[in-house]
Amino acid sequence: MSITAETAKQHANDPAVLCCRAEEGTVLAPSNFEDPAIFPDLIDSGLLNTDGALKLGQVLNGSKLTKTVDSLTPITPDIIDKYDELEGEEEAPAEEAAPAEEAPVAAPAATLAPVVGGTIKLHIGEGKNIDIELPAGLGGGAVAAPAAAPVAAGAAEAAAPAEQEEKVVRTLSRRHLRIDKVERGPETKIENHVLYIEEGIEEKAVESEKLVQSLKIDVITPDNYHTYSETIMDIQPIATKEGEAELGEGVTRVLDGVLMVVSGTDANGVQIGEFGSSEGYIDENMMWGRPGAADKGETLIKTEVVIDAGKNMERPGPIAAHKATDVITDAIRKALKKVDESEFEADLEEFKQVRRPGKKKVVVIKEIMGQGAMHDNFLFPVEPVGTLGAKPNVDMGNVPIAASPLEVLDGCIHALTCIGPASKEMSRHYWREPLVLEALHDPELDLCGVIFVGSPQANSEKFYVSRRLGQMVELLDVDGAFVTTEGFGNNHVDFVTHIENIGKRGIPVVGFSFCAAQGALVVGNKYCNAMIDNNKSMSGIENEVLECNTLCPEDAVRGVAMLKAEMAGEEVKAPERKYNVNVKTNNLELIEKATGKKIETVENEQSLPMSEKRREKYD
């Protein structure tokens, strides 16, 4: 297709090929030329040979055709009256929307150079309880370290823009209780590391939801992982807030070694989320150890919920299955509240929300599913991963909503996604969100928060929420942004629009998605130049293995390095045309070399016993 002057400029060093027939005497203009972005496809299919062709930048200066030629003719010196000589061997910056992942230059962003012998000016406009400590050698003018100005909490900004002290905004602690065994008993309680679930609680769960016909509880211990399960709709940590603490701060009590697992079908036996579902033997169909999956060794309390026939693809159906399961989880939460503090692990696991003024300010944006049916999420429940008090993002119009990193890690998302299980983030994923953890702990980044934005069904709504997101990111005044998504296809429309709305405001942005072979972006724009592919599967496909292709620490590390490179003004190399896992491997090696730290990578579905389904459909 014909190109604009702007595109022609970007491709000044690419071959000049006519898009259409042009007659003798035509003065060549950008609209005469085919878009070089599609040349590789044309060359592959034997339609084009650009050998000996002049470059676009050489022929847009008044060159005139001396012969009438047809479309897809490369411009060569013999068919034009004049052309410009090539200027140097400069590589044009190639900005390209592409599904594959790109190579970052992994040099860590430069830290501030120590001030040597300069003046240090401190100006404090207004404030109280301000303590300023300066190195003793200051007066002598030979200070080797940057001045540090620790400012007491609550003080007004001290206007020393250079190095500033970290500031802890709030803290979240997890108090762990090991569970050795799960049994049934007359009441739900926890005693001596044994969790008892009330006999007959199933009936209470069924009664709580009109659409639920039956509910069965299976306790699956590690020696029993080779058990058939209907499609797994969610994996949830069991946790409760201590005292009056709100989500994202204070103390959270959590059970170790045991998880809630929601599964189900409709009354006709159709999977909830049929058309990409994870039913089958659990050991073969779950990617153990992923942030959102179970770890080997954990006991699964699995509900198998049967809902009214035909309700499996309508919104109320899956919601009912989740809410009925939460009746049981909530009973466990109540029991957990009663356990004496002495029974818990002595050490609290502590998460600090740290702000690092003066460092590169970044935001993590997580696109979550919001198309309706089972594509929904309950946001901000009262209890971690609960349902009570939560609002579905679909009902809130999928607009962007701010969360603290600690709210994310404290289960502020109760996830209702299940179609396409390999790339969807279960509730447990947020509990261990690798990108949030990586960005929070990186001493060179100032993570200001997390934004959740739903992915609506209709395009018009997608653009609506994207525009809101762009405005929100603008007002945050960040230096860089991460955008993650789950799934692929429909949600990619808003995913790339989010990136565009951030990128066009001049903010460097890195995107994370499963793409690989099957999920290549259906749309793109010039801001999609820094992308991380979450794929882990061997064939680059949605293999229906639960959590296989979700965001892992190895992806977070690459994304952080890429954003730092972008924020430092370095160029991210264009991707290869087809998905190639070596790009990822090379990136990881580059990062290891630059940081001197070994990065562990996770295994993929090939480490699992081969399932019938995989043998037939995929591998």
Partner 1 sequence: MENLQILLRQHVGKPCAPVVKVGDKVKKGTLIAEPTGLGANIFSSAYGVVEDITDDRIIIKPDDEQPDEYEKIPEGTPLEMVKAAGVVGMGGAGFPTGIKLDTHFDGDGYILVNASECEPGLRHNIQQMEDEPEKVLKGVKYAMEISGANKAIFAIKKKNRKAIEKLDELIKDEPNISRHLLADIYPEGEERAVVRSCLGIELEPSQLPSAARAVVINSETCSRIAEAIDERKPSFLKNLTVRGKLNGGNEAHVFMDVPVGTSVADLIERAGGIDGEYGEITMGGAFTGHATTLDAPITKTTGAILVSMPFVDLKGAKLGILVCACGGNLERMEDLAKKYNGTVTHVCYCKQAQEQKNGTRKCERPGICPGQVKNNLEFKKSGCEYILIGNCSDCSNTVMASGPKMGLKVMHMTDHLMRAVGHPLYRTLRVSKEVDQDLNVADNIENN
Question: Contact positions toward partner 1, by CB under 8 A?
Answer: 1-2, 19-21, 23, 31, 34-35, 38, 41-42, 45-47, 68, 70-72
**Angle formed at CA 201 by CA 198 and CA 204, multiple of 5 degrees:** 150
Please report how close the Cβ of residue 47 comes to partner 1 at its closest, in angstroms.
5
Nearer CB in complex with partner 1: 46/186: 46
Please report how close the Cβ of residue 40 comes to partner 1 at its closest, in angstroms.
11
Type of residue at 355: R
Residues 6+ apart with CB under 8 A from 459: 493
Nearer CB in complex with partner 1: 2/601: 2
Nearer CB in complex with partner 1: 1/610: 1
Distance separating alpha carbons of residues 577 and 291, to the nearest angstrom: 30
Nearer CB in complex with partner 1: 71/111: 71
Distance separating alpha carbons of residues 32 and 155, to the nearest angstrom: 62
Say if residues 530 and 552 touch (Cβ distance below 8 Å). no
DSSP-derived 3-state class of residue 69: strand
Please report how close the Cβ of residue 20 comes to partner 1 at its closest, in angstroms.
4
Please report how close the Cβ of residue 72 comes to partner 1 at its closest, in angstroms.
5
Residues 6+ apart with CB under 8 A from 123: 158, 159, 160
**Angle formed at CA 283 by CA 279 and CA 285, multiple of 5 degrees:** 40
Please report how close the Cβ of residue 7 comes to partner 1 at its closest, in angstroms.
12
Nearer CB in complex with partner 1: 23/85: 23
Nearer CB in complex with partner 1: 31/224: 31
Structure tokens at 266: 């409709």
Nearest to 205 by CA among 387, 18, 402, 430: 387
The one catalytic residue among 412, 418, 448, 515: 418
HSE (CB half, 13 Å, CA atoms) of 107?
A: 9
Please report how close the Cβ of residue 151 comes to partner 1 at its closest, in angstroms.
57
Distance separating alpha carbons of residues 105 and 561, to the nearest angstrom: 8
Three-state secondary structure readout of 70-130:
CCCCECCHHHECCCCCCCCCCCCCCCCCCCCCCCCCCCCCCCCCCCCCCCCCCCECCCCCC
User: Could you tell me how far CA 385 lies from the centroid of its own chain?
Assistant: 19
Active site residue 548: no
Please report how close the Cβ of residue 549 comes to partner 1 at its closest, in angstroms.
24
Please report how close the Cβ of residue 42 comes to partner 1 at its closest, in angstroms.
7
Q: Tell me which DSSP letter residue 232 carries.
A: E
Nearer CB in complex with partner 1: 2/539: 2
Nearer CB in complex with partner 1: 41/180: 41
Q: What is the DSSP string of 492-520?
A: HHHHHHHHHHHHTTT--EEEEE--TTTS-
Distance separating alpha carbons of residues 449 and 402, to the nearest angstrom: 7
Q: What is the DSSP string of 185-207?
A: ESS-EEETTEEEEETTHHHHHHH
Question: Looking at the annotation, which residues are catalytic?
Answer: 418
